[in-house]
Amino acid sequence: MEKAGLIIEDIDFLVPHQANIRMIDSAVKRLVVSHDKVGVNLNRYGNMSAASIPVALDELVENEKIKAGDHLLFVGFGLTWGASVLRWNTR
């Protein structure tokens, strides 16, 4: 986020890897993000490995929760970690 010039308050949705709910809750707590700004589908599908973030994103889009201009933070964690932030656009 720092490289993008953003702070956590600029993030409209956090889309985490859906490994387990404890990891997601820990990330939400550390980042001080409201649970209603987190795309979670672990309870419906379980850990889908590499597909978990794209499927969670698709659900947010299908449910019209994301709008043009929203900032999304994607995070994956486990043995290692990675993150990406983007601004959502529609065409």
pLDDT, one tens digit per residue, over 42-90 is: 999 999 988 999 999 999 999 999 999 999 999 998 788 899 999 999 7
- Asked if residue 1 is part of any domain, the answer here is no
- Asked if residue 47 is part of any domain, the answer here is yes
Number of domains in the chain: 1
- Asked if residue 2 is part of any domain, the answer here is no
| 74 membership: H or E segment, kind and range | strand 71-77
With 0.85 as the threshold, say if the pTM is over it: yes
Rounded to whole angstroms, how far apart are CA atoms 44 and 63? 15
- Asked if residue 63 is part of any domain, the answer here is yes
Q: Reduced to 3 states, what is the DSSP secondary structure of residue 2? A: coil
Domain that holds residue 18: 8-87
